[in-house]
Structure 1
Amino acid sequence: MSRNASISLHERPRPGVEGQEARDTEQDAGNLDTVESRQWDSKRKRIYILVGASISQLPIWGFAMSYGVFQEYYYDNWTLQGGRDVTGIIGTTSNGVMYLSMPFLFALFTKRWARRRQAAALCGAAIICVSFILSSFSTHIWHLVATQGVLAALGCALMFSPLTLSLGEWYNTSNRAVAYGVTLSCKNIVGSACPFLLRVLLDRYGFRVALRVWSAIAAGTSLLAILLVPTPPSSLPASTPRRRRIAWQFLRHKTFYIYAVAIILQSAAYGIPQTYLSTYAREVTLLSQTSATLLLTIFNIPGIVGSYLFGYLSDNKHWTLSATTMTAISAISSGLAAFLFWGLTSRGSMGLLVLFSLTYGFFAGSYSATWGGVINEMEREAAQMNEAIDTGMLYGLLNGARGIGYVSGGLASVPLLKAGSMASLGQFGYGSSYGPLIVFTGLGTMFGGWGLVWGLKWEKLLHLF
């Protein structure tokens, strides 16, 4: 054999080795394609879930955020038996019942009834529709309180709790605060559009037909939202193993109680403008019905941007503000808006009321978007102490604190309004019967940022030692 032939034979690759390398390359490429496909499917599913959770804000919050339009209609077209003043507590009662029931519902659907989340949401949607249909046949004011303030609120909470739990669990690895911020932005979109929709229905058909149309709208959007938000497989318990327990260790941390008290104080005041701003615009500043309805829309529009922004800042990896700082910014700014803009309005001062609605709606309406940062902060505390934490249950308890605030504010609003009609606090809005409500709103929302003062106090004490 010649030398050239020998070299040629030596350099020729072995068939077995070449085939194995080719198969390995094809397998690696196939695995990469599979991983990319799974990542895309997961991302697409999370987008659908975020869309579904956003759609659910319409049937859950549409009525509660627009109740001021109904209250104004009841006042101008009173046909029911009972005291007209009682209508002022329906909106705050609705919010209070929803938030107060959430801790119990979150506890049920976090572990034990995780498999029944979608079924429970469907039951909640059915209760919503039935309650508004029953409400359309009301003849006495207590009928409205029972159906709109209590029954419909329970249905909304039963729908909200399982869907929100699933949303948080689908986004538990990243962007949870952003996901909460997006859904809260959609909540404010609902609060911006529904007042005009309901006003048109009320003026054209009356409150009975308007409630039946709203029931149909709630039914269609509820079904679509529930179908788009399945329960995460990781949250579904196996058929036989022992029952999983909720981790309650976070209740031993003072951080939880600081934020819970702040939420109670802020929520007690937050619902006041939503309920009374429209009637204030008619009675005190003598604005038209259209302008009064427009104020409710303007009140909710800034929260669309604000909720996303506050959620993004709470979850941003490059430039993150602490939860204490975010809650303080929201609370102090909204309190100043109440004192400086709402309190200084006078007859015909549409400009100041618009300015109040914009600033208060932006800062106070974004307060809930800071809770993603609160949960992240408590997760870090739990990790440092090597403790387990159930973020779904934590979120439910924060909503419960909000419910305590809403109920407290609603109960306080009626005597405050009566006190304002008997005493004057000066000129402008302060001198009207709504003066005590304005002061209560400003103080309550400001105290919602008291966690900053608490944190600074402890930092100074630690620095001294």
Structure 2
Amino acid sequence: MADSQKRLSHIPSTDTLDTTGKERDVGLAQDNQTGGTANCKPDCEGCSSCQDEGLEGGKYEEDSLFAWLVVLAGCVQAMITLGASRAHGVYQEYYVIDEFSGVPTTTISWIGSVQNTMLNLCGVAVGVLSQFCDSRVMCAAGSCAMGLAFILASFSTQVWQLVLTQGAMFGAAASFPYILGVTVPLQWIRKRRGLALAVVYMGSGVGGMWVSILTRTCIDTLGRSWSHRILGCIMIVLGMGLSPLVIARKPRARPTRIFDFSVVREWRFLFIAAASFFAMGPNTIPYILMPTYAADVLHAPGRLGSSLVTIINVSGIFGRFVAGVLSDSLGPVNMLMVWTFLAAYSQLGIWLPFPNVPASIASAALFGVTGSSIVGMILNALSHQYGVTRITYISGMIYMTYSFASLAVVQTTSLMLDTVGHGVDYTWPIVYTGLLLVISLVILIVFRLKLSRKLALFV
């Protein structure tokens, strides 16, 4: 009887569905707070910590210097993949205003939409292949392919060609170093996972900042084609150079099934996936709309649009660090609720009612701190709920929800801007973005109460 009671206090494995019992809710919070190993039997495989014990670490240990080198490698991979994607607003501004000025915004938006869709949709393939293939080889191959995609984009002269190269090819290739770069470090860090994820995702902020500046500088001085070639070469050199450090810790037993969808039936996964869908769908909207908003609505002189993207990325560096530290102290789900609320406020409380330069800067800064940190905290929440033994595979399915959300939201927002806003009224696109974040917040609140009604617990 005592052993049964102990097992009730652990998180169920990914092959088990259990939605009842207050004992499990309290045990979930205790496992997340203490690591879940203090009272475990040697053969326990129920809690997330015991699942993590099933990983082969080789000659390196968790939380060691080498573990933080893996985190650093993941940071650089996020810098050249997600950072380049975050800087797409600079290209969007150039395409809309200069190169394809007569083409509807909706058509041009397909470049960024397809890019983000493929970046996340291919997460399932990355998750499946990671169970059988060497993560270092996968990372190097993806880095080479995404650099070649940008080089091919430099020779593209039509929108559909850019959709195929800068959009589909880059997104699919970047998915490998990106997803491996943010999930593999979780297998090496146990005590400060929130901080480790913060360091990794800070790379996307740093990358978005310098890639935005480099892209604008290259376009102004050398032309759009050379900006693509230069960035493509940088991606190949940095990505392939650091791929040897992206070493995954393999489970002692290989999975028996290539595709295991049992986790999809769990209420915890469904709640996280739903919150991710509504939060990550609008995540790229400010990056894409703010550059053209500065030109169409604010009529701001100079390159304020590019500067707003830079502000989002710079503030995102600070936001990710704060979110990581606080997640380790207060819990990733608790912080997700706070950050999602502030991200929604940046859209509905600042950007929408105040169409001026100071408000746009404030909105960009607040969204950079909060909105850009959401994806990292979602991944952290997954690691606390399921452990890290199969984190790449499970997170790959979550990233799949991002892909559909990104495609639907970006295209819907662009359609709103072209039809309702006639290309110059951004009211409804901003409202739409903010309301999606509000829906995500409601889902997170229900999820948090279902985990435990004790609000002071680490969850």
Paired residues of 1:335 and 1:443 also in contact (CA < 8 A): yes
CA distance in 2 between counterparts of 1:243 and 1:40 reads 27
Aligned length: 396
Q: CA deviation at 1:235?
A: 4.5
**Aligned-partner residue type, residue 112 of structure 1:** F
Q: Deviations over 1:126-178 (max 9, x none)?
A: 2112111111111211001111110011110122233434322222x332332
**2:68 equivalent to 1:51:** no
Query: Given the superposition, is the C-alpha separation of residues 303 and 392 from structure 1 closer, same or farther in structure 2, using an over 3 Å criterion?
Result: same
CA distance in 1 between counterparts of 2:220 and 2:136 reads 36
CA distance in 2 between counterparts of 1:375 and 1:57 reads 19
Paired residues of 1:331 and 1:364 also in contact (CA < 8 A): yes
Paired residues of 2:182 and 2:201 also in contact (CA < 8 A): no
Paired residues of 2:80 and 2:207 also in contact (CA < 8 A): no
**2:291 equivalent to 1:270:** no
Q: Which of 1 and 2 has greater Rg? A: 1
1:150 to 168, 193, 208: 168
SS at match of 2:353: coil
**2:316 equivalent to 1:303:** yes
**2:319 equivalent to 1:312:** no
Q: How does 1:125-164 map to 2 (within 5 A)?
A: 125-164=143-182
Paired position in structure 2 for 1:446 = 438
TM-score normalized by the length of structure 1: 0.78
Paired position in structure 2 for 1:334 = 343
CA distance in 1 between counterparts of 2:140 and 2:274 reads 33
Paired residues of 1:56 and 1:222 also in contact (CA < 8 A): yes
**Aligned-partner residue type, residue 336 of structure 1:** Y
Structure 2 stretches lacking a partner, 5+ long: 1-58, 455-459
Q: How does 1:244-255 map to 2 (within 5 A)?
A: 249-255=262-268
Q: CA deviation at 1:459?
A: 8.5
CA distance in 2 between counterparts of 1:461 and 1:304 reads 32
SS at match of 2:303: helix
Q: CA deviation at 1:230?
A: 2.6
2:375 to 365, 368, 372: 368
Structure 1 stretches lacking a partner, 5+ long: 1-37, 381-387, 424-431
**2:307 equivalent to 1:289:** no
Query: Given the superposition, is the C-alpha separation of residues 391 and 290 from structure 1 closer, same or farther in structure 2, using an over 3 Å criterion?
Result: same
**Aligned-residue identity in percent:** 19
**Aligned-partner residue type, residue 115 of structure 2:** S
Paired residues of 1:271 and 1:409 also in contact (CA < 8 A): no
Paired residues of 1:81 and 1:140 also in contact (CA < 8 A): no
CA distance in 2 between counterparts of 1:408 and 1:242 reads 33
1:120 to 127, 138, 145: 138
Paired position in structure 2 for 1:107 = 128
User: Relative contact order (alpha carbons < 8 A, sep ≥ 6): 1 or 2 greater?
Assistant: 2
Q: Deviations over 1:380-418 (max 9, x none)?
A: 8xxxxxxx9733322222222222211111221222112
CA RMSD of aligned residues (A): 2.8
CA distance in 2 between counterparts of 1:87 and 1:121 reads 29
Query: Given the superposition, is the C-alpha separation of residues 105 and 308 from structure 1 closer, same or farther in structure 2, using an over 3 Å criterion?
Result: same
Paired position in structure 1 for 2:390 = 390
Between stretches 220-229 and 79-88, larger displacement belongs to: 79-88
Paired position in structure 1 for 2:357 = 350
Between stretches 432-441 and 370-379, larger displacement belongs to: 370-379
Paired position in structure 2 for 1:416 = 416
CA distance in 1 between counterparts of 2:257 and 2:227 reads 45
